[in-house]
């Protein structure tokens, strides 16, 4: 299959690796020095958990072309995605998948469909991969070849599109899960990661400094955000995920995961590195969630507000970059 990956950072690079391993004809869109590195040295990835290095050689272009692609994946930061919607609409492909944090799912879907000359299925996805890019090489953190949750904004993926996606990843160890409401999934994901973001910036992006009470506050803040979304009528996705934040043995497991993430290099690659290198995306995500909250301004969120108030102002964070 001919597949386009629009953006070749950590997540896009790991996606490209998984797709290439399945025998697909993969093209990536990258720009500047990174595009030249990919052309001359290939897509080099150090897989942190697996302790191995791989090199792939996808076709590299710097701007969208007229080639027909069976599927196009766009892997960009939240607000950067808004800047390429017209380009995505113009791609010669029947399936476009927007990857990453996104609290404007329905709006982006509408814009792409409105500007497309042909029929398109617009999907949204999120990959579990984290990591960094340094010295012409990606370091990625993932289990197997990673995992991908994918779906339409608020309905099931059409069966023919599901078959096409399964075919694209056939032969890889990348786990693909289909979701019937990615709008809700991405909102609940933001509800969980924003408290982590606040605590990251509170500690100067060094979660090793966190105390037990601060990590408890993090889980309480996420629970506040979940309860808000539930009150607004968003179905919990993944279904039952709210139980990870309710008092009991499952929450104790969540606390252990947060502790491990805070204290280990592996956790830093999955959390603080992104906060360090993408503060603009984190600020945009925070602002977008506040817009959701404005729909029910009197809803009590004491832990969320307390934790959010502990971090520096966004202006201060921007000034340090």
Predicted confidence (pLDDT) per residue in 152-172, tens digit: 999 999 999 999 999 999 988
Considering the domain architecture, whether residues 84 and 110 belong to the same structural domain is answered as: yes
Considering the domain architecture, whether residues 101 and 214 belong to the same structural domain is answered as: no
Six-digit token string for 161: 């599109």
Residue ranges of the chain with pLDDT lower than 50? none
Considering the domain architecture, whether residues 209 and 274 belong to the same structural domain is answered as: yes
Considering the domain architecture, whether residues 105 and 163 belong to the same structural domain is answered as: yes
Number of CB atoms found within 10 A of residue 24's CB: 22
Q: Which helix (H) or strand (E) is 301 found in, with range?
A: none
Residue 221: burial class (beta carbons within 10 Å; 0-12, 13-18, 19+)? buried
180, 195, 221 - which closes a domain: 180
Supply the range of the domain harboring residue 257: 184-319
Considering the domain architecture, whether residues 201 and 159 belong to the same structural domain is answered as: no
180, 203, 238 - which closes a domain: 180
The pLDDT value given to residue 321 = 65
For residue 22, give the nearest of 140, 149, 164 by alpha carbon: 164
Query: Which CATH number goes with the domain that contains 25?
Result: 3.40.50.720
What is the DSSP pairing of strand 25-29 with strand 59-61?
parallel
Considering the domain architecture, whether residues 207 and 175 belong to the same structural domain is answered as: no
Considering the domain architecture, whether residues 166 and 20 belong to the same structural domain is answered as: yes
Backbone torsion region of residue 57, taken as left when φ is above 0, otherwise alpha when ψ lies between -120 and 50, otherwise beta: beta
Considering the domain architecture, whether residues 141 and 190 belong to the same structural domain is answered as: no
Look at the chain and report how many structural domains it folds into: 2
Considering the domain architecture, whether residues 93 and 110 belong to the same structural domain is answered as: yes
Angle at Cα 318 formed by Cα 134 and Cα 190, nearest 5°? 80
The runs of H, that is alpha helices, within the chain are 10-21, 32-41, 78-83, 85-90, 105-115, 159-168, 182-202, 212-231, 249-263, 265-270, 272-277, 279-293, 302-310, 314-319
For residue 78, give the nearest of 165, 186, 3 by alpha carbon: 186
Considering the domain architecture, whether residues 172 and 210 belong to the same structural domain is answered as: no
* Count of positions (residues) in the chain: 321
**Residue-wise pLDDT tens digits, 255-308:** 999 998 888 876 777 777 778 778 889 999 999 999 999 999 999 999 999 999
Considering the domain architecture, whether residues 248 and 134 belong to the same structural domain is answered as: no
Distance CA 305, CA 18 (A): 40
152, 180, 208 - which closes a domain: 180
Considering the domain architecture, whether residues 175 and 190 belong to the same structural domain is answered as: no
């Amino acid at each position: 299959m001919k597949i386009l990956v629009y953006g070749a950072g950590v997540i896009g690079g790991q996606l490209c690796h998984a797709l290439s391993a399945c025998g697909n004809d993969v093209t990536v869109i990258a720009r500047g020095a990174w595009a030249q590195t990919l052309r001359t040295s290939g897509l080099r990835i150090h897989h942190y958990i697996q302790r191995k290095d791989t090199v792939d050689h996808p076709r590299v272009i710097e701007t969208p072309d007229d080639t027909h692609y069976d599927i196009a994946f766009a892997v960009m930061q939240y607000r950067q995605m808004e800047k390429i919607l017209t380009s995505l609409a113009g791609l010669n492909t029947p399936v476009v998948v927007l990857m990453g944090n996104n609290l404007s799912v329905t709006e982006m879907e509408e814009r792409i469909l409105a500007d497309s000359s042909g029929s398109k299925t617009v999907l949204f996805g999120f990959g579990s991969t984290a990591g960094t890019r340094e010295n012409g090489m990606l370091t990625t953190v993932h289990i197997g070849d990673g995992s991908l949750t994918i779906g339409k904004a608020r309905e099931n993926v059409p069966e023919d599109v599901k078959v096409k996606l399964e075919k694209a990843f056939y032969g890889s160890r990348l786990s693909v899960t289909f979701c019937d409401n990615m709008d809700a999934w991405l909102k609940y994901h933001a509800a969980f990661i924003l408290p982590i973001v606040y605590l990251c910036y509170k500690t100067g992006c060094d979660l090793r400094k966190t105390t037990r009470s601060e990590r408890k506050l993090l889980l309480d803040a996420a629970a506040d955000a979940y309860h808000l979304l539930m009150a607004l009528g968003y179905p919990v996705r993944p279904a039952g995920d709210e139980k990870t934040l309710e008092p009991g043995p499952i929450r104790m497991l969540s606390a252990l995961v947060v502790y491990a993430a805070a204290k280990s290099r592996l956790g830093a690659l999955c959390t603080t590195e992104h906060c360090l290198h993408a503060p603009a995306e984190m600020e945009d995500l925070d602002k977008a969630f506040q817009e959701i909250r404005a729909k029910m301004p009197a809803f009590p969120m004491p832990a969320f507000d307390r934790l959010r108030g502990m971090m520096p102002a966004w202006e201060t964070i921007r000034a340090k970059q």
